[in-house]
Amino acid sequence: MAEVETNQKKKRPFYKENVPLLMQGNEACALGALAAGCRFFAGYPITPSTEIAEMLSRLLPMFGGRFIQMEDEIASIAAVIGASIAGAKAMTSTSGPGYSLMQENLGYAYMTEVPCVIINVMRGGPSTGLPTKVAQGDVMQSKWGTHGDYFPIVLMPSSVKECFYYTVKAFNLSEKYRMPVTLLSDEVLGHMREIVNLPPPDELEIVTVSKPFEPPEWYKHFEVTPDYLSPMASFGEGYRFHLTGLTHDEYGFPTAKRNEIITKLEKLRLKTARHLDELTDVLVEMMDDAHIMVVAYGSTARAARQAIRIARKKRFKVGLIQPRIMWPFPDKIVREYLENVDLVIVPELNQGQVIREVKRLRQRHIRIIGLNRFDGELITPQQIVEKIKEERH
Amino acid sequence: MAEQVSNVTHKYLRPKKTFPNVWCPGCGIGIAMGALIRAIDTLELDRNEVSIVSGIGCSARIPVYLDFNTLHTTHGRAIAFATGVKLGNPRLHVIVISGDGDLLAIGGNHFIHTARRNIDITCILINNYIYGMTGGQYSPTTPFAKNASTAPFGMVEQSFDPSDLAISSGATYVARGTVYHASQLSRLISQAIQHKGFSFVEVIANCHTQYGRLNREGSAVKMIQWQKECAVPVSTAAKMSPEELEGKFVIGKLHEVFRPEYVSEYQKTIDRFSREEKSDQQLQES
């Protein structure tokens, strides 16, 4: 466990600020959640995400929050959504099989526009797969997992420090856009230890969903505003609204009227589509003069970052694009850089998922090739360099 | 009297919600909804602090008509959502309304675990022995040998007794009523809401459209008469032999015990370890 302050007399902080701490990605996620104001966690034990639950079960009561271990992942996400509706910032953490179980209720949260955070520490799949080994097989699931038409926000950190900051960011985005936000970590990231310096929680920017100011009888829980972000009342605040997974009108009552159906479903799309600038977070490295582009994310991006440095020494003009907000996909930036390169390499710990997105954006003939590893081990920088050499030979 | 009753009911119906409701004429769910409203009215609960949670099915449509904090969730998960609502804001009175398929089939696991946890939630099961909304398929409470649209040659599975299941799972208040005994039902529901811990009320209701038609049990009136004939109050049942009780069911308060309740037990942990200074309001409450 990371160094956690347990001195009861001291009110804050709950971690030592601005000093080097050695901690795991999972622990950083748990601390990030607390710093972001998370006060409810419901979960079910699953490798390799359990450390997040263990840590929060200890820390949440210290901050007046509540932890509960539910009977399965379906109940966990249901309780998280329920707590969020009742006004608590809420989250859960899980891994592949649990994430699959959560999909139906995640759809409910997208439909009813309830903020919450889901951390999926990816492991090998499908099914039980490789519980203790790393993979990046859930990237497409995080986009298309539940049924129907919806537009998720998914974040992918690549270091322990990013695990902390992106958990905070996940809460901020979920509160602002009133929707579930998934953070895709993976087994290596979750269990890897790194030195991090964490800032005091009050130096972080924390977003909380805006509250309505109109009287209850005028209140529309799903009001369509010019920027498609609507304020949200919680249960117990006197607004007495109705929430349903059925397609509903602006008040939340079920509807089958064509114009109201369209308004609702378009709102789900426009919420993110109208804010793509804010929802683009890409790390671009050495792309200015690059002819070769590596698109990598999550723990694979770490290898890619080193690989481009090695390749540069060998006189290959190569750069890196690392989407840290994976969905919505950074179409604009990737399309821009595709203009100037003639080879793209997409290393992934799966048999080719994000490569489809890059190919979708291809305007002219460029070679786009995948470097895929799915044996439960990480892609090494050497493998990427070898791939570049092989292609350039 | 009738006017008084409807005045109470109308006070809690949503003004924006258009009627008629989704239920078939003669359905027992409306009576159960009325009983729930009267129970809440008798207890004089602040309606801003009442949350009604339901899953999927005919009975799950109750919340949309009621002017409380209402939540219509996914199939079988109502009770898990309700757990979250209660923990997110423990001041709320959380009431779950569910049907036999919703609560005992797809939601069976959540039901037994929530009962075991003894969290302060009231669960009302409207038991009509069938899946009404999807067209009369058999449910976990469809009696042996009865017909359903997916049991055209008679039910070959055994059925659950929901109240027994609740008691053995750890529910600390368990009662059974019928839609025929409507005023007793609202008394039972108000007792259940007042009870601190997981409380469960099973409501025997009629589905003449599906169950009645498939089993030739006649109209809504005939099915409600059957409830009157077969219901035995707890006090009478105590004097009867198992043979005499064959084919009948017991109504009234079946079980009440007091065990540590989850939310207040967890609060003790928070109070013990909390590092945040208490606000004046919290100090007053404690």
Average the pLDDT over A27-45 and give the result: 96
Give the pair of three-digit tokens for residue B204. Answer: 């025997």
Q: Which residues of A touch B68 (CB under 8 A)?
A: 240
pLDDT-derived band at B149 (thresholds 50, 70, 90) equals very high
pLDDT greater than 60 at residue A320: yes
CB proximity A81 to B under 8 Å: yes
> Does the beta-carbon distance from B92 to A12 stay under 8 Å?
no
pLDDT-derived band at A201 (thresholds 50, 70, 90) equals confident
CB proximity B118 to A under 8 Å: no
Q: B112 CA to chain A: closest CA distance, Å?
A: 10
Residue of A nearest to B265 (CA): A66
| ipTM attached to this prediction | 0.94
Angle at B276 between CA B273 and CA B277, to 5 degrees: 115
Give the pair of three-digit tokens for residue B65. Answer: 């008509």
Q: Where in chain A is the domain with CATH 3.40.50.920?
A: 283-392
- Exposed / middle / buried, residue A195 (Cβ in 10 Å: 0-12, 13-18, 19+): exposed
User: Taking the domains of chain B in order of start, what are their residue ranges?
Assistant: 2-260
Percent of chain B with pLDDT over 90: 88
Q: B213 CA to chain A: closest CA distance, Å?
A: 29
> Does the beta-carbon distance from A86 to B49 stay under 8 Å?
no
pLDDT greater than 70 at residue A13: no
DSSP A78-121: HHHHHHHHTT--EEEEE-HHHHHHHHHHHHHHHHHT--EEEEEE
Quick one: pLDDT at residue B1? 57
Q: Which residues of B touch A71 (CB under 8 A)?
A: 109-110, 113
pLDDT greater than 70 at residue A12: no
CB proximity A257 to B under 8 Å: no
Q: Where in chain A is the domain with CATH 3.40.50.970?
A: 20-203
- What is the Cα–Cα distance from B178 to B182, expressed in whole angstroms? 7
Q: Which residues of B touch A215 (CB under 8 A)?
A: none
pLDDT-derived band at B286 (thresholds 50, 70, 90) equals very low
How does pLDDT run across A274-286, given as a tens digit for each residue?
Answer: 999 999 999 999 9
Q: A6 CA to chain B: closest CA distance, Å?
A: 9
**Distance from the first to the final alpha carbon of chain B:** 42
- What is the Cα–Cα distance from B175 to B193, expressed in whole angstroms? 12
**Which residues make Cβ contacts (< 8 Å) with residue B3, sequence separation at least 6?**
none
CATH 3.40.50.970 correct for B2-260 = yes
Nearest to A78 among B47, B72, B77 (CB): B77
Mean pLDDT taken over chain A: 94
Quick one: pLDDT at residue A15? 83
pLDDT greater than 90 at residue B8: no
Q: B153 CA to chain A: closest CA distance, Å?
A: 34
pLDDT greater than 90 at residue B279: no
The CATH number of A20-203 is which of 2.170.190.11, 3.40.50.300, 3.40.720.10, 3.40.50.970?
Answer: 3.40.50.970
> Does the beta-carbon distance from A82 to B49 stay under 8 Å?
no
Helix (H) or strand (E) holding B127: strand B121-127
Quick one: pLDDT at residue B6? 73
Q: Which residues of B touch A232 (CB under 8 A)?
A: none
pLDDT greater than 90 at residue B7: no
Pairing of strands B50-54, B231-233: unpaired
> Does the beta-carbon distance from B275 to A10 stay under 8 Å?
yes
Q: Which has more pLDDT, A8 or B235?
A: B235
Average the pLDDT over A365-376 and give the result: 96
pLDDT greater than 60 at residue B94: yes
pLDDT greater than 80 at residue B285: no
Strand partners, A119: A93, A183
Mean pLDDT taken over chain B: 93
The CATH number of A283-392 is which of 3.40.1550.10, 3.50.50.60, 3.40.50.300, 3.40.50.920?
Answer: 3.40.50.920
Put the strands of the sheet holding A242-244 in their side by side order.
Answer: A242-244, B69-72, B50-54, B93-99, B121-127, B199-204, B173-178, B249-256, B231-233
CB proximity B53 to A under 8 Å: yes
pLDDT greater than 70 at residue A336: yes
Quick one: pLDDT at residue A10? 41
- What is the Cα–Cα distance from B55 to B74, expressed in whole angstroms? 5
pLDDT-derived band at A138 (thresholds 50, 70, 90) equals very high
Residue of A nearest to B15 (CA): A217
Nearest to A61 among B16, B68, B270 (CB): B270
pLDDT-derived band at B283 (thresholds 50, 70, 90) equals very low
Quick one: pLDDT at residue B10? 86
Angle at B27 between CA B181 and CA B105, to 5 degrees: 90
Q: Which residues of A26-46 are buried (b: 16+ CB within 10 A; e: fewer)?
A: bbbbbbbbbbbbbbbbbbbeb
Nearest to B74 among A40, A64, A104 (CB): A104
Task: Give phi and psi for B118, each to the nearest 5.
Answer: 55, 50
Nearest to A235 among B85, B274, B275 (CB): B85
Name residues 98-117 of chain A within 8 A of B (Cβ).
104-105, 108
Average the pLDDT over B144-155 and give the result: 96
Average the pLDDT over A87-113 and give the result: 97
